[in-house]
Amino acid sequence: MKDATRSIVGILAVIFLSFPAMASDYKEGEVIVKFKAPQGAARSMIMGEESRAVTIAVDDTETAISEMQNRADVEYVEPNYIIKAESIPSDWPYSATQWGDVALPEAWDFMESAGSVQAVIIAVVDSGVDMDHPDLRDILVGGYDFANDDSVPEDDAGHGTRVCGIIGALGNNGGVAGVAWNTDIEIMPVKFMKKDQSGDTTGSLSDAVNSIYYAVDNGADIINASWGFSSYSRSLEEAIRYARDHGVLFVTSAGNSGQDNDANAHYPSNYSLDNIIAVAAMNSSGDLSTFSNYGLNSVDIAAPGEGMKSTDMGGGYVSWISGTSYASPFVAAVAAMVKSQSPEMSCQSLRNIVISSATKEDGYRFDSIASNGCVNAKQALLAEESLDSSSKETGSTSQTQNTASSPAPSGEGGGGGGGGCLIDSCQNPGSALTLLVIMILAVLFRMPRVRRLG
């Protein structure tokens, strides 16, 4: 139901885009274009720079779109939309009540005992990060700044630093503790937004798309996107599909307009791709936040996003921040906990575990979102442990997608990860004997496939 509804919304959006009126703000004088591949080269091309959309300068955006959409060599053309971060003013009433429903202390105990099998890389596609913040600097890995076209994604808006803090701020140091603070994680800051002249945190669609490709190509396991807008973009959908095809989970905010996303689409959360988790915000009373978007078919799960505390620029901390911007990284961090226990897990299985393990208790008002509940870190870890144990007993792997609970959208591939090879060297085994040994081992032990990026 959810994926079918998303597909219909996407189709309608494509039709709507062909009309001159455009719902979201965009950069005048630029369009995003994907040209069709030459007939002779189409057979040999693989996904890469050649097949991606490009940004070009034009005299007038609407005129250029009208002219180019009818050209035989153009696959699609769209405006270079302006994207906004999805936080709300920091004077939202703060509640000191603990978030008991998401079972974080129990999850931390689990991680303390189990440890991490492998480090998980979370790309925060946002406004950058305070790279010298004492709570974050030790878990940061190289990123990029597409807003300024350099390799130093330093935050000038604060939004990205706060998102990163929700994920992994160092605990037990008198500041704040991120959700996955005692999990082996690495945060890759990829900046495409910055503070504009009005003080808002904004960025262009083209930079967001480039940021996603960069994150995938540089080893991200999970991408967090705490931003959104109302217009369908094919280039953004292609970038997220590229992430899916490389086994990358995409966690994104549902939006802060208090609207039903089933009726009024919000992107990227409304795309019908099975690597997306769309996150609503909840308050400490166990209710959906009044500002949070919702949608029985388009929003997956709720997470704390009202009256939060996190890291801030200048090495400090900030309280009373609210928005689905901060609910999304909460879920991304829980997903990282689970992924750290089963590195071979597909993005579809990871998504299913996080959503299906949600807290669903009497008295909760989450009947307007797909899972009918809020994220539960401990239950997600127990679900992973149970799945891992079951896989060992049956000889299957945890990459098997739970198609009953989350079927792949029509026309979409059912699983993430790369290729059909069992190990990276299988495309060039060196000898028939080596290949035979690999095949025998695969049959006997059901070896999990190793995901290759890029």
227-269 pLDDT per residue, tens: 999 999 999 999 999 999 999 999 999 999 999 999 999 999 9
pLDDT at 33: 96
For the CA atoms of the chain, what is the radius of gyration?
21
Residue 403 in this model has a pLDDT that exceeds 80: no
Q: 114 and 238 share a domain?
A: yes
| Number of separate domains in the chain | 3
Bridge partner residues of 220 (DSSP): none
Residue 124 in this model has a pLDDT that exceeds 80: yes
Is position 260 annotated as part of the catalytic site? no
> From CA 107, how far away is CA 180, in angstroms rounded?
9
375 pLDDT band, cuts 50/70/90, is very high
Catalytic residue among 159, 233, 274, 310: 159
pLDDT at 412: 40
Domain containing 63 equals 2-81
385 pLDDT band, cuts 50/70/90, is confident
Domain end position, chosen among 66, 81, 96: 81
Domain for residue 405, yes or no? no
Cut 0.75: pTM above it:
yes
Give the pLDDT confidence of 273-307 residue by residue, as tens digits: 999 999 999 998 888 999 999 999 999 999 999 99
Catalytic residue among 3, 101, 116, 126: 126
Q: 161 and 285 share a domain?
A: yes
Give the pLDDT confidence of 67-106 residue by residue, as tens digits: 999 999 999 999 999 998 876 554 333 333 457 789 989 9
Residue 438 in this model has a pLDDT that exceeds 60: no
Is position 425 annotated as part of the catalytic site? no
Residue 418 in this model has a pLDDT that exceeds 60: no
Q: 35 and 180 share a domain?
A: no
Domain end position, chosen among 345, 374, 392: 392
Residue 450 in this model has a pLDDT that exceeds 50: no
pLDDT at 136: 97
Domain for residue 397, yes or no? no
Catalytic residue among 325, 328, 340, 342: 325
Domain for residue 409, yes or no? no
Lowest mean pLDDT among 116-130, 193-207, 428-442: 428-442
Q: 170 and 242 share a domain?
A: yes
Q: 52 and 99 share a domain?
A: no
Is position 3 annotated as part of the catalytic site? no
- The CATH code of the domain that includes 220 is 3.40.50.200
Q: What is the 3-state secondary structure (H, E, C) of the chain?
A: CHHHHHHHHHHHHHHHHCCCCCCCCEEEEEEEEEECCCHHHHCCCCCCHHHCCEEEECCCHHHHHHHHCCCCCEEEEEEEEEEEECCECCCCCCCCCCCHHHCHHHHHHHHHHHCCCCCEEEEEEECCECCCCCCCHHHECCCEECCCCECCCECCCCHHHHHHHHHHCCCCCCCCCCCCCCCCEEEEEEECEEECCCCCEEEEHHHHHHHHHHHHHCCCCEEEECEEECCCCHHHHHHHHHHHHCCCEEEEECCCCCCECCCCCCECCCCCCCCEEEEEEECCCCCECCCCCEECCCCCEEEECCCEEEECHHHCEEEEEECHHHHHHHHHHHHHHHHHHCCCCCHHHHHHHHHHCCECCCCCCCCCECCCCECCHHHHHHHHHHHHHHHHHHCCCCCCCCCCCCCCCCCCCCCCCCCCCCCHHHHCCCCHHHHHHHHHHHHHHCCCCCCCCC
Domain for residue 403, yes or no? no
Please state, in angstroms and as integers, the Cα–Cα distance from residue 430 to each residue in 426, 449, 454, following that order: 9, 19, 23
Q: Which of 378, 311, 398 is nearest to 137 (CA)?
A: 311
Q: 280 and 340 share a domain?
A: yes
Q: 157 and 74 share a domain?
A: no
Q: Which of 241, 157, 231 is nearest to 191 (CA)?
A: 157
